[in-house]
Amino acid sequence: MISSDHMVKPQTDAVDVFWHEGMLQHDAVEGVFDTGVNPGFLDVLEKHPENADRVRNMVSILQRGPIAPYVNWLPGRPAILSELLTFHTSEYINKLVEADKSGERREISAGTFMSPGSWEAALLAAGTTLSAMQHILDSHGKIAYALVRPPGHHSQPTQADGYCFLNNAALAVKLALDSGRCSRVAVVDIDVHYGNGTAEGFYRSDKVLTVSLHMNHGSWGSSHPQKGSVDELGEDVGLGYNLNVPLPNGTGDKGYEYAVNELVVPAVRRFGPDMVVLVFGQDASAFDPNGRQCLTMNGYRRIGEIMRAMAEEHSNGRLLMVQEGGYHVTYAAYCLHAMLEGVLKIPEPHLPDPVAYYPEDEAVAVEAVKSIKRYHSEYVPFLRGT
């Protein structure tokens, strides 16, 4: 439960955080990284990277860290079936329900395990994100953060993928569009992995602009057939409204900022959304076990600043943030704190970076961004000539 010390209080500039401790009940597996395999010759098996500890630290740093006075806490809730069916097929939802009923631990897709308590956590993650979006739609706040797990952006309408069961952000986007209060939504995904599930769900829509900045990892099998390459642009009326920014491995603060300013900001400006959704993980950090990028706290802070400015320019300041990956148990929390400092326009860092400066040569990333920009200018209809 949320203590009385952290209940909603008026703020001139604050972030409304939606959270429910029931999401901690999802217990993936132990083994070799995310495989669940015990080879028999290791004395110490590691927790699955998407474990509850990472999110416990995110909660605690927002409750007891320097940013705590800027945080309002609001309760999450489970999603209901009709809400899930706005994005997912009934066949897929039935598959998850049956897996939960079995009471057994099952591998739903590679590295994605459902255990007793997982389905309840997934429903809470989806419903909590929907509550955060509804909070914004009802004008109760402009900046909301759905602090949720399990993550969602790999989950496609018909299948699980990459630790994700339900696509929390996509469900919130559908809610915004179906409410009649938004006609165009921009989704910017900075998780280190391609937001393939969200892209797939809106691949044939011109009402949603999906932009994903990710490491250049390609497809990883039948659950993730999408490559995240620049030529995956959408189809039919959605052609050009899915923009992929595969960044070279090792891209750091300067490279990410350059990519956001050169590719994301102009595209969102041309698109003209009336709602902005930031889908993010801290797995693009320099020390994450599940990524190969080099963002530090400064990079996340700068991205937060840019996204806040984007929301103020296009959506009257309305910004929904949805938690995805981030698997370094301590540094992910620090990077979250830094990003929210940027979103809140706190002028100076309130926490020192515990791992300090990471050297960066942004030249390769800059050339990659220039190449992607040329491609977009040629093949994306609404960006031609930029």
**Phi, psi of 135, deg, nearest 5:** -55, -45
Question: 371: pLDDT confidence band, cut at 50, 70 and 90?
Answer: very high
User: b/e string for 170-207 if b means 16 or more Cβ within 10 A?
Assistant: bbbbbbbbeeeebebbbbbbbbbbbbbbbbbbbbebbb
Question: What is residue 266's predicted lDDT score, i.e. its pLDDT?
Answer: 98
Question: 358: pLDDT confidence band, cut at 50, 70 and 90?
Answer: confident
Mean pLDDT of the chain: 95
DSSP secondary structure string for all residues of 222-282:
TTB-----TT----GGGTTSEEEEEEPTT-BHHHHHHHIIIIIHHHHHHH--SEEEEEE-S
Question: What's the first-to-final CA gap in the chain, in angstroms?
Answer: 50
Lowest mean pLDDT among 8-17, 98-107, 177-186, 346-355: 8-17
How many helices (H) and strands (E) in the chain?
11, 12
Question: 353: pLDDT confidence band, cut at 50, 70 and 90?
Answer: very high
Residue 285 has pLDDT above 60, yes or no: yes
Question: What is residue 181's predicted lDDT score, i.e. its pLDDT?
Answer: 95
Question: What is residue 331's predicted lDDT score, i.e. its pLDDT?
Answer: 98
Higher pLDDT, 11 or 40: 40
| DSSP 8-state secondary structure symbol assigned to residue 24 | G
Out of 6, 20, 154, 328, pick the active-site residue. Answer: 154
Question: What is residue 11's predicted lDDT score, i.e. its pLDDT?
Answer: 40
Question: What is residue 9's predicted lDDT score, i.e. its pLDDT?
Answer: 38
Quote the pTM value. Answer: 0.96
Is 318 within 8 Å of 44 (Cβ atoms)?
Answer: no
Question: What is residue 385's predicted lDDT score, i.e. its pLDDT?
Answer: 73
- Mean per-residue pLDDT, 230-243: 98
Residue 2 has pLDDT above 50, yes or no: no
* Distance (Å, whole) CA 3 – CA 64: 12
Q: pLDDT (tens digit, 9 = 90+) per residue, 198-213?
A: 999 999 999 999 999 9
- As a dihedral over the C-alpha atoms of residue 355, residue 334, residue 260, residue 366, rounded to 10 degrees, the angle is 10
Check if 154 is active-site: yes
Question: What is residue 6's predicted lDDT score, i.e. its pLDDT?
Answer: 41
Question: 245: pLDDT confidence band, cut at 50, 70 and 90?
Answer: very high
Closest C-alpha to 242, from 135, 170, 138, 166: 170
Structure tokens at 371: 């190449």
Is 143 within 8 Å of 135 (Cβ atoms)?
Answer: no
- Mean per-residue pLDDT, 233-259: 98
